[in-house]
Amino acid sequence: MDGQESWPEIEKASKEKRRELVLQGAVIDEKISSNGVNNLKALPEEITQLSDLNTLNVSCNNIDSLPDGLCHCTKLSTINISKNDITRFPDDFYRLDLLSTVIASENSIEELSGDVHKLSALKVLDLSNNKLSDIPYELSDCSKLKEINFKGNKLKDKRLEKMVNGCQTKSILDYLRAGGRGKGKGSKQADGDGDKAEGGRNAEKTQTKKQRKQKKKKNEEEEDEVDELNRLVVKVLHVSDNPGAFTVKVANELKDVRPYLVCCVVRGMNFRSGNALKRFLVAQTKLHDDLCGKRTTATMQKRDVAATSPVPISNA
Please answer whether residues 181 and 260 qualify as being in contact, where contact means their C-beta atoms are separated by less than 8 angstroms: no
pLDDT of res. 32: 66
pLDDT of res. 196: 44
Query: Which secondary structure element, helix H or strand E, spans residue 232, and what is its range?
Result: helix 223-233
Look at residues 266, 274, 250 and name the one whose alpha carbon lies nearest to residue 306.
266
pLDDT tops 60 at residue 249: yes
Q: How far apart are CA 107 and CA 150, in angstroms?
A: 12
Across all residues in the chain, what is the average pLDDT?
Answer: 78
Please answer whether residues 51 and 71 qualify as being in contact, where contact means their C-beta atoms are separated by less than 8 angstroms: no
- Say what the alpha-carbon torsion angle 129, 130, 136, 140 is, to the nearest 10 degrees: -40
Task: Please state which of the ranges 112-126, 204-218, 275-289 shows the lowest mean pLDDT.
Answer: 204-218
Q: How far apart are CA 202 and CA 193, in angstroms?
A: 9
pLDDT of res. 182: 46
Which of the pair, 123 or 315, is modelled with greater confidence? Answer: 123
pLDDT of res. 290: 83
Q: What is the pLDDT of residues 39-60, one digit of tens each?
A: 788 888 888 999 899 999 988 8
- The set of residues, in sequence order, having a beta carbon less than 8 Å from that of 212 and lying 6+ positions away, is none
Query: Which secondary structure element, helix H or strand E, spans residue 188, and what is its range?
Result: helix 185-192
- Say what the alpha-carbon torsion angle 22, 28, 34, 39 is, to the nearest 10 degrees: 0
Please answer whether residues 1 and 61 qualify as being in contact, where contact means their C-beta atoms are separated by less than 8 angstroms: no
| Bridge-based pairing state of the strands 101-103 and 124-126 | parallel
Please answer whether residues 59 and 80 qualify as being in contact, where contact means their C-beta atoms are separated by less than 8 angstroms: yes
pLDDT of res. 221: 63
pLDDT tops 70 at residue 89: yes
pLDDT of res. 241: 54
Which of the pair, 197 or 92, is modelled with greater confidence? Answer: 92
pLDDT tops 70 at residue 181: no
pLDDT of res. 128: 96
Which of the pair, 220 or 76, is modelled with greater confidence? Answer: 76
Cα-flanking dihedrals φ and ψ of residue 126, to 5°? -120, 105
pLDDT tops 90 at residue 113: yes
Query: What residue type is 215 in one-letter code?
Result: K
Which of the pair, 219 or 128, is modelled with greater confidence? Answer: 128
Q: What is the dotted CATH code of the domain comprising 38-192?
A: 3.80.10.10
Q: What is the pLDDT of residues 196-245, one digit of tens each?
A: 444 555 666 677 777 777 777 666 666 665 555 555 454 555 555 555 56
Cα-flanking dihedrals φ and ψ of residue 101, to 5°? -135, 125
